[in-house]
Every structure is written in C-alpha cells, then in structure tokens.
Amino acid sequence: MPIRIICRRKSVQVKGWLWPADNELKAESKRVPNVIIFLLSKISIMTHTTVPLISIIIPTFNRAALLPRAIDSALRQTHASCEVIIVDDGSTDNTAQVAARYGDKIRFIRQANAGASAARNRGIHEASGTLIAFLDSDDTWHSEKLARQAALFTTPEIGAVHCAIRVEYTDRGGTKGIYYPGDCLSLHDVLALKIPWPTAMMVRRDVLMEIGGFDATLVASEDWELCIRIAQKYILVGIPEVLAHYQEGTPGHLSGVRSRYCMECRIQRKYRNLLARQCPDCRRSLNGARKIQRDWHFAQLCDLSRQAFYAGRFSEFLRYRFTAVAFDPLRAIHEAPGVLAKNLLRRKPGPCPGSPHIKR
C-alpha cells in the first residue's frame, strides 16, 4: 500500500507516489522508520535518472542484401532509448522495399546521391537524440555497444566515445584483425592517424552541430578530417573491447586509390597550414601520418597489381606497378625483382593490408 510522505521543503510526484526530497520528513498517517525513508530517497534518485536518446544513423547505397543485418544489429541494442534512421543515398536497387519491412521501427529518408558524408549529415540534422551513433550498412554491433558508450559521457570535455572493432576481410582469405586506436585520443594522436572508424564512434549531437558535421566535399578519409575537428576542442575516449564488426571487401581500383590519396593530401595541406606552423608536435604528427599513408597506398597498389597479374590483365599489372613508383620510387625499384619472382611462384594473391593500426 503506498505511503504518503510529506516533505517540509519540497515533495516530488512520481507515478502517483510522493517521494522525499530531503531527510527532513514526517509521516502524515503513521511514523515511518528512518531506514524506509532512506531507501525511498535512493529510489527517488534512481527514478529521476534520465536515459539519453541515441540516434542511430545508417547511410546506405545499393546494399539491399546487407542492410537487414545492420538494421537488426541496431534494433537489438540493450540501451532503452534509441531511434534508427536509414538514409538512402539514391539507391537504384530495392533498398526502400527492404526498409519498409521494419515499419515504424525505423525512419527511412531518401535523397539524391550525394555521397556518404552528405548522407550522414542529413541523418544528423534529422536526428532527435542527444547522442549520435554511426553504423555502415554492411557492418554490425554488439548488443551492449550503445549502452557501454553512452555511460562514458560523464564530463563536457568528452566529445566522442569509440570502441575496438573487429575487421573481417571475408573476400581475401578470411583474414581478421582488431583495430583500436587508443584509450584517450588527443589532437596529436588524431593527426598521426590514430582515429576511430565511424562504425565504432558515438558523438554528442551538439558537438557535431558545433563543428559542422562531415565535410561533404571529401569523397574519402572524411572520418579523419572530422576527428581532427573534434579533437581540437574535445577528447575522444575509447573502450578497448570489441563491440563492432567491420566488413572489408576487396580493394578498389586505381582511381579509388588515387582519389583517396588526393583527399588525404588535401587534408594534410589544410591542417599543416592551420596547426603545424603553430605547434611543432602537430607538424611531427602530420609528417608521421604522411609516411603511414604512403606506405599504405603503396601496399594497396602492390596488391592490385598482384591480383591483375593472376587474372591475366598484364597491362593493368604494369600500370599499378608504375603508379606505385610515384608513392615510393626507391622501394618500388628495390623490390621489383623480388615481387616479380613472388608473383610467379605464388598460386593466388594474399590478403591486402588494411589500416596500419590493425593488430592481427
């Protein structure tokens, strides 16, 4: 039977109950033991704890076959308050029909094709939550991911929370690795390419609105540029447990490697002018990132050339190899005899290296 409790200063109404607001209490109908009053006070505090609304943004483009796995992963989250927003970036397949099966469990937004960054920005503006979590349409989450990340937003200095992510190269021999950039990332760490991937990130919406969201003019490496702007004002906190799974497909073509490298060079120039001239540590971080990027693109081109060699496309093989010379001439010339011998001896191409920070 409910006990009506009157507070001398203030009382709080919760679901038909009057809970005590301080220790100066008295019972109207009968004397209530101090232990019960203490327990009711604790229950009152727990009752008033607010659960933040998390907006899950899933951009997609022509991935109708993979989209249900990502949506189911988002709907299985144990966090009590979530909304799922699907942003269709001009798909030409049956993505809309696949999304319609979920009814009012999700919000489906369709726009003309403008790229992943524009799709994520559209989701940010349409979101109602105070926290934003990004999920690519071919990736999945652990059911506890959002709840674990939301609990770490304890101070205003924390702008984003990330987690470790398992990378699966299903199309390249099943190679797996775990990517985790670090527990607490500063601006120098982010400039040195220690960045969380979007699928592993949760960001405060007010932070995203303050910095302007993703740079829609970038066709690649937009996550690196976003993290740099976040790290200029906030810190990025990490959870060293694998709470997300990333599906890595086959490497792209020559134009894709070139476009990514051009975007990274553009980001380098931008922040070298803004930060490196004022901060020697920032300059050293950018120099280290440039070396990592050159090594990574060199390895990508070598893998593309190896696949072209085994497919009998020798003109592509030579084009990829000559392009690799532009990234690292001395290394390309030095390794040319050994690479040719290895290609002739090996029966199938091996896995292509992923991010330089992936642990295998």
41-53 tens-digit pLDDT: 444 444 445 788 9
Q: Positive or negative CA dihedral for 259, 261, 267, 272?
A: negative
Residue 88 has pLDDT above 90, yes or no: yes
Do 165 and 245 meet the contact criterion of CB atoms below 8 Å apart?
A: yes
The one-character DSSP state at 115 is: -
Instruction: List, as one string, the DSSP characters of 173-206.
Output: TTEEEEE---SEE-HHHHHTT----GGGEEEEHH
Going along the chain from its start, the domains and CATH numbers come out as 5-47 (no CATH), 54-247 (3.90.550.10), 256-348 (no CATH)
Q: Across-strand partners of 238?
A: 162
Which candidate, 168, 169, 196, places its Cα nearest to that of 182? 196
Distance (Å, whole) CA 111 – CA 319: 37
The one-character DSSP state at 232 is: T
Q: Across-strand partners of 261?
A: none
98-117 tens-digit pLDDT: 999 999 999 999 999 888 89
Distance (Å, whole) CA 93 – CA 74: 22
Distance (Å, whole) CA 204 – CA 213: 11
Determine the residue type at 356: P
For helices 280-310 and 314-327, what crossing angle results, to 10°? 170
Distance (Å, whole) CA 292 – CA 290: 5
**Which of 33-37, 222-226, 315-319, 328-332 has the lowest average pLDDT?**
33-37
Query: Would you say how long the chain is, in residues?
Result: 360
The whole-number pLDDT of residue 282 equals 67
Top mean pLDDT of 26-40, 147-161, 291-305 is at 147-161
Residue 25 has pLDDT above 50, yes or no: no
Burial 159-194 (b: 16+ CB within 10 A, else e): bbbbbbbbbebeebeebebebbbbeebebbbbbbbb
229-281 tens-digit pLDDT: 999 999 999 999 999 998 875 444 445 666 777 777 788 778 777 665 666 66
The one-character DSSP state at 21 is: S
Residue with tokens 């085994």: 310
Residue 69 is inside which H or E element, if any?
helix 67-75
**Which of 98-102, 117-121, 297-301 has the lowest average pLDDT?**
297-301
Do 286 and 272 meet the contact criterion of CB atoms below 8 Å apart?
A: yes
Residue 16 has pLDDT above 50, yes or no: no
Mean pLDDT of the chain: 75
The whole-number pLDDT of residue 359 equals 45
The whole-number pLDDT of residue 48 equals 43
Do 113 and 89 meet the contact criterion of CB atoms below 8 Å apart?
A: yes
Strands 25-27 and 54-60: unpaired
First to last CA, the chain: 60
